[in-house]
Amino acid sequence: MITKRQTSAIEFYEAVQRLSERLLGNREADLNAGIAVVPSLKQFCELAPLLFWRNGITEMSIYRDRLADEARSHIREIKPGELAKCRALPLILDVREKDEFVRGHIAGAKHVSRGVLDQKICEIAPDYSSPIVVYCAGGNRGALAADNLQKLGYQNVFSLKGGLSGWLEAGGLVETPEYRECFQG
């Protein structure tokens, strides 16, 4: 039976480092020493939530929140009200997953998942000085995406503060499948 174990973010990070060293290091020596090595990072990612759990919140999500907070210190955020007042709308990128985008998104937003943003951004925004606003559901993935775009050389990037949730709380509207059907039929 797999049991949940409490751990700190530091212990988690150290465990990931040890695993990486084993995966990249001398695997045969580890096996001879009786150390079980996870054969792939994919399997590790599947097992990690079961191993590192604490009061219903995974340490991985806490670590992701810290990464997003760190990214926020390097980027500019735009409040939903400021975006709504823009005369010329910037390129709006929704970096959520496809199923989230389909359920509802800011009108005019282009979808590109954060996982493939680095590969597809040149097709979507070839001009490195064009204004871009990225958003996700709550703001963390958007902040990380904005930070990545800046690292790629984009100069006028913003993250929507609070993500889609912040947009809706401020009274912003979203385009949904039902809305599109009303105007297509």
Q: Do 25 and 91 share a domain, yes or no?
A: no
Same-domain check for residues 31 and 103: no
Give CA–CA dist 157/118, Å, rounded: 14
Report if residue 63 sits inside a domain: no
The CB density around residue 94, as the number of other CB atoms within 10 Å, is 28
> Are 168 and 80 in a shared domain?
yes
Question: Same domain, yes or no, for 27 and 89?
Answer: no
- Asked if 84 and 160 sit in the same domain, the reply is yes
- Do residue 42 and residue 99 come from a single domain? no
Rounded Cα gap, residues 172 and 81, in angstroms:
8
Do residues 92 and 108 make contact, with C-beta atoms less than 8 angstroms apart? Answer: yes
Say yes or no: 173 and 112 in one domain.
yes
Q: Looking at the structure, tell me whether residues 82 and 164 fall in a common domain.
A: yes
pLDDT score at 65: 83
Same domain, 97 and 162: yes
In a shared domain, residues 51 and 86:
no
Q: Which pLDDT value is given to residue 36?
A: 46
Helix (H, G, I), strand (E, B) or coil at 111: strand
Single pTM value for the model: 0.65
- Asked if residues 86 and 132 have their Cβ atoms less than 8 Å apart, the reply is no
Q: Cβ(135)–Cβ(90) under 8 Å? A: no
Count: domains in the chain: 2
Residue 65 within any structural domain of the chain? no
pLDDT at 35: 45
CATH number of the domain at 96, please.
3.40.250.10
Q: What is the pLDDT of residues 101-123, one digit of tens each?
A: 999 999 999 999 998 999 999 99
- Residue numbers in the chain where pLDDT is lower than 50: 1-7, 26-39, 52-56, 180-185
**Mean pLDDT value across the chain:** 78
Domain range holding 26? Answer: 9-55
